[in-house]
Amino acid sequence: MWAALALLACLEAGAGPDAIAVGAPARAFDLAALNPDAAMALVHQARVSLYDLVGVQPAHPARGVVIVFFDRGASAQGLRPLEALSRRYAGDQVRFLGVCLDRGDTTADWIRDMDLSFPVLADPFRVVAGRYGVRSLPFVVLVDAEARVFAAGGPDALDLEAPLDLEITNLLESGPPIAR
């Protein structure tokens, strides 16, 4: 459901044959945070499960979850705009999760130094990325409160903010707010 046809082309180019489909149930995961303080602030533990936030009886209900798969290469540039979006939509109960695909001992230090308010989760063996059919980075999945994929695609890392902002707005306009 990316708004622009250019983004649809990115979606097709960035997702493999196992890519998750819009409208399909989001695939479950539970990953350790590279910045445990942000995870603790969100879900009161250093690991984050998607179903802590959405689905049937989530412990910390969200209207939507933005999952951004990235690595320290070119796709890491998009983390600062994501921080701004995360803060902008916090009051609307839209939560952000970064999923870092890098391996190495310095990755956690690098993430902590960025001082992001949203959890960045470690997927060094790309298990979760494989479940979502991620083939290029960054790759973004927007999940609704019912744990269904609302949008997915591989937008350009340099132009991540505007298309994602539009999709979050569409998500918020598509359904009633959840009880707080």
**Domain range list for the chain:** 5-174
68, 96 Cβ separation under 8 angstroms: yes
The pair of three-digit structure tokens given for residue 45, joined into one six-digit string: 């533990």
Tokens of 179: 């009880």
Q: Which residue has the tokens 């870092």?
A: 100
Higher pLDDT, 175 or 93: 93
Q: Which percentage of the chain shows pLDDT scores above 70?
A: 84
CATH 3.40.30.10 fits 5-174, yes or no: yes
DSSP readout, 104-129?
A: STTHHHHHHHHT-SS-EEE-TT-HHH
Q: What is this structure's pTM?
A: 0.86
Give 79's pLDDT tier (boundaries 50, 70, 90). confident
The string of pLDDT tens digits covering residues 36-58 is 999 999 999 999 999 999 999 99
- Of the two residues 43 and 113, the one the predictor is more confident about is 43
Which two tokens mark 153?
A: 């695609």
Would you place residue 180 in the very low, low, confident or very high pLDDT band (cuts 50, 70, 90)?
very low
- Secondary structure of residue 29 in the 3-state scheme: coil
**In Å, how far are 9, 49, 57, 161 from 78, measured between CA atoms?**
19, 23, 31, 8
